[in-house]
Chains A and B, each alone.
Chain A
Amino acid sequence: MKKTTRDHLITFGLVVVVYLIVQLLIATGNMSSLMQGLLVPMCTYSIVAIGLNLCVGYLGELSIGHAGFMCVGAFSGAVVSKLLSETVTNGILLFVIALAVGTLMAALCGFLIGIPVLRLRGDYLAIVTLAFGEIIKNIINVLYIGKDSQGFHFSLSNPIEIEEEGLWLINGAKGIAKITHLSSFTIGVVLILISLFVVYNLVNSRSGRAIMAIRDNRISAESVGINITKYKLMAFTISAAIAGAGGVLYAHNLSTVTATPANFGYNMSIMILVFVVLGGIGSFRGSIIAAVLLTLLPELLRGLSDYRMLIYSIVLIAMMLFNWSPRMKDFRAAHSLKGRFGKKTAKEAE
């Protein structure tokens, strides 16, 4: 078996094993309802982190606007499931339709935003993605969509009137209310597996290698005939689509979804970025592990009440220093078990 294939199978296996353990814990009543409430958010964050890791790790472009794509996915998905909730009674089918629409809308946004944004480099690109994320959140907050016997009503920034028995789809800053609860832990895990399948296949394909070539050296990639714009856009759009799928899952776990700075602002984008960097840039398995652990950490520290977020931040700083500081890297190399007992690398053997 090829090394990469084995590596991918380990990741899939890990997700499935964790899923089975959690189901066992729930069945035997060993999991508190608080923890059960965290399961779907954990899946959401893992999915968005996988999407962002594709952008940061393989395309090599820092995006701090992925919460915006999540927001697009969440709102378009929820609007569709609300519209169709009477005609489509099968919950799974309804979710799949919402998922398809949400993912497509997020991909479309990613594509449209990607065209201008990907011309920029480095930190300028990061700040523009942040700007787009904030714009999306801002616009959704003043968007009114309603439906009644007269048909659909749209409005931007001015509240509109609809008939008494009409249906509000998006009510400005009040967001979307009364969403059917369609998300479940099982659906979340299936979505994680699908996203993993998509990104693993992408990065091991011809297109994936082209994307990584652009990341490593844009000019040499261009000189061997790789279409820079096409592959950059491809990676960015897929990354946005996966974030959108995470958003659909997120929205259908809540009864009311609103676009606030806490859930779709840059804070969320940064939180996802923290998962990606801490889990290891370019490692999808790491992203999932970091997303799960860092979502659990504040809950595990709940006994410390007020101090938990403070401890969280200290742990974050300490982990970053431990992982990335050049001095700590030397220290770990000198004292690791692998270095003492494992095979010596060619450099050390000399």
Chain B
Amino acid sequence: MSFLSNLINGISLGSVYAIIALGYTMVYGIAKMLNFAHGDVIMIGCYAVFMTMSRQGWPPLLSVAFAVVVCTALGMIIEKIAYKPLRRATPLAVLITAIGVSYFLQNSALLIFGADTKSFTSVVAVPPIKLAGGALTIPGTAIVTVAVCLVIMVALTLFIKKTKAGQAMLAVSEDKDAAQLMGININGTISLTFAIGSGLAAIAGVLFCSTYPSLTPYTGSMPGIKAFTAAVFGGIGSVPGALLGGILLGVIEILGRAYISSQLSDAIVFAVLIIVLLVKPTGILGKKVSEKV
């Protein structure tokens, strides 16, 4: 039974990673950049919920909606100010700028909210389900997290497949210049991608903090790195890959912590990543890129 409950915790954590990984994967697919500041957008989303819900007493759903709006706006502003001027510069320059943005967000949060750890109140009010006569308990947060993750995945897949804006995103990620020739608004599409990715980050952040309720200005960076690893794991640029990578990573992390060594769980996660990449160099569901001579 303890194995099952660990597995459930792993899937729940993995779902959070999957939602964050979506933001990385979409931005990478379109702008070909690693958005290192993504993890810190998560943290800002958590603070938005904390300040409105715990301090002002807003209803949970309203404050989550507020956080999504804040993060969406933040994502678009960051893209406009910091990344857009570097659109044709080397990828490394954009990477360092993203790191600068990440420092900026962390230190702004440090100044505004202080360095002390805030204890986050869970936004989920779903009671836990007890199975097998109380031997197996599924926490309410886990149920909500997995459900939200699945809803987001389905909605996003439908959005990309069925709407014009989604098709435009696919086209831009395939070939920017050709898409522009077809009359697609490149800047608008990239902005939209950042908006969606950052909005999802807010939701992921709230779910993460509902499970691990300590909030500091550095809360976002480790889940951010893990989620990026998950995105690479599943094949960067692929939406189902992000789901698969996220869930596998979460399960490996929790099972590794429970059965092998609690201190080595991060090392185990990264070791599995390395093995997967050595066997499949573009991730589990990544496209194989053939080289032109």
Contacts and interface: CB of A to CB of B under 8 A. Distances in A.
Given A123-B34, A131-B273, A138 B266 contact: yes
B82 A131 contact: no
Contacts of B278: 116, 119-120
Given A116-B274, A157-B264, A317-B82, A124 B282 contact: yes
B264 A142 contact: yes
B103 interface: yes
Contacts of A135: 266-267, 270-271
A116 B110 CA distance: 40
Interface in A124-145: 124, 126-128, 130-132, 134-135, 138-139, 141-142
Interface residues of A, number: 47
Interface string B264-289: 10110011011001100111000000
B232 A120 contact: no
A268 to B, nearest CB: 12
Residue among A138, A157, A314, A323 facing the most chain B CB atoms (10 A cut-off) = A138
A306 B101 contact: no
A120 B275 CA distance: 12
A324 B99 contact: no
Interface stretch (B57-65, B90-98, B125-133, B205-213): B90-98
Interface in A184-236: 219
B264 A138 contact: yes
A42 B100 CA distance: 20
A273 interface: yes
B270 A309 contact: no
A62 interface: yes
Interface stretch (A11-19, A103-111, A274-282, A341-349): A274-282
Contacts of B54: none
Contacts of B267: 134-135, 138-139
A62 B273 CA distance: 18
A135 B267 CA distance: 5
Interface string B78-91: 00001001111110
B135 interface: no
B241 to A, nearest CB: 13
B281 to A, nearest CB: 5
Interface in A241-275: 266, 270, 273-274
A313 interface: yes
Nearest to A126: B34
Contact of B277 (A128, A273, A313, A317): A128
Contacts of B93: 277, 320, 323-324
Contacts of A116: 274, 278
B76 interface: no
A219 B291 CA distance: 9
Contact of A124 (B89, B90, B107, B277): B277
A316 interface: yes
A320 to B, nearest CB: 4
A36 interface: no
B229 A131 contact: yes
A312 interface: yes
B104 interface: yes
Contact of A281 (B36, B92, B291): B92
A316 B37 CA distance: 14
A114 to B, nearest CB: 13
A119 B270 contact: no
A316 B264 contact: no
B263 interface: yes
Nearest to A136: B267
18 contacts: A119-B281, A130-B225, A131-B271, A138-B267, A138-B270, A157-B261, A157-B264, A273-B96, A274-B96, A277-B92, A313-B107, A314-B100, A316-B99, A317-B82, A320-B97, A321-B82, A321-B86, A324-B89
Interface of B: 28, 34, 36, 82, 85-90, 92-93, 95-97, 99-101, 103-104, 107-108, 110-111, 225, 228-229, 232, 236, 261, 263-264, 266-267, 270-271, 273-274, 277-278, 281-283, 291, 293
